Each structure stands twice: as structure tokens, then as C-alpha cells.
Amino acid sequence: MSDDKDKKELRVRRIENGTVIDHITSGQALNVLKILGIPSSSHSVVSVLLNSQGKYGNKDVVKIENRELKVREVDRIALIAPNATINIIRNYNVSQKKKVHIPEFVGGIVKCINPNCISNSNEPITSKFNVSVDGENLKLRCAYCGRIISEDIGKHLL
């Protein structure tokens, strides 16, 4: 490893226990924090690395001390950062690594962007989308009105 690479890797200090969310689509780290309720409902120490140079272009990284993520949180992260990996850190080492899982359907997680969609009416209807992969990004198709969300999914999370 070159000295240069060493310096880059030392930018953020190692954590003893917690979670590293790696390979986050560049620009999505703040949406990841929002999904995790940071800082408002979490007191964990968090480091955020924006625009870090990864093997496949730029990425963001979020490191959270002393916290493991809930399935529901990981499912939401998958929608805005489909290439993310969740690394569980125990005693300074990666003890578990998982890729986020991209679901075929999402229910009750995203709000349809069509104001006239029945899922946005007063009816007790849970939003539902069909998920497809479009290159680097995901495409969500509303099961009720057919409207497609392909940009800024993070902005439409319920």
C-alpha cells in the first residue's frame, strides 16, 4: 500500500463497534442519515465521508458507533443507495458484510409523486411500487397509477 493510500484510509478514525455503510451512491449520505434519524433521534457518534474515491468512482461512507441497523432501515437505504454494503464492526474488525437487498416491490415506504394518485387520497391505501434497476439507479412504478419515480427517491420517502 502506498503512503498516499495510507493517508486517505486514516482520514476517519477506526471504530471499535458499530456499523459502516460503505459504497453509498455519491450524494446520498445525507439521505441515509435522515433514514437513520441522525441526529434528531439518535445519540450515536457518526462520521460521514462524502465523495470518497472508491474503486468504481466516488462514493459516500457513513460510520456509526455502537449501533446496528434495523431491517426496515436497511430496506430504505437500498432504495437510495442500491450498491451500499452494510459492514458490522466488532472489536475494530469487519465481522459481517452484507449487500443491501433490492426488493421487487416496496409497500408503505415511498410516497407517489402523482397528487391525484389514489394512494394520496384519504382512502386507507398503502403506497405500492414495482422496483426495477435502471443502470446505477432504481426506477419505481406506482402499482395504482403507473407514475414512475426515477430521481431523488430520497425526497419521497415516507
Ligand X SMILES: Nc1ncnc2c1ncn2[C@@H]1O[C@H](COP(=O)(O)OP(=O)(O)OP(=O)(O)O)[C@@H](O)[C@H]1O
- 114 in contact with Zn ion (CB under 5 A): yes
As given in the structure block, the three cell numbers for residue 103 are 426488493
Phi and psi at residue 54, to the nearest 5°:
-110, 180
Amino acid at 4: D
Q: Is the dihedral of CA 11, 13, 14, 19 positive or negative?
A: negative
- 105 in contact with ligand X (CB under 6 A): no
* Partner that binds at residue 20, options ligand X, Zn ion, none, CB closer than 5 to 8 Å by kind: ligand X
Residues 54-73 interacting with ligand X (rule: CB under 6 A): 61, 63
CA proximity to 101, closest of 118, 114, 123, 84: 84
Spatial distance between the Cα atoms of 144 and 110, rounded to a whole number of angstroms: 13
* Partner that binds at residue 61, options Zn ion, ligand X, none, CB closer than 5 to 8 Å by kind: ligand X
- 89 in contact with ligand X (CB under 6 A): yes
Q: Which of these segments, 25-33, 83-91, 136-144, 146-154, binds ligand X (CB under 6 A)?
A: 83-91
- 25 in contact with ligand X (CB under 6 A): no
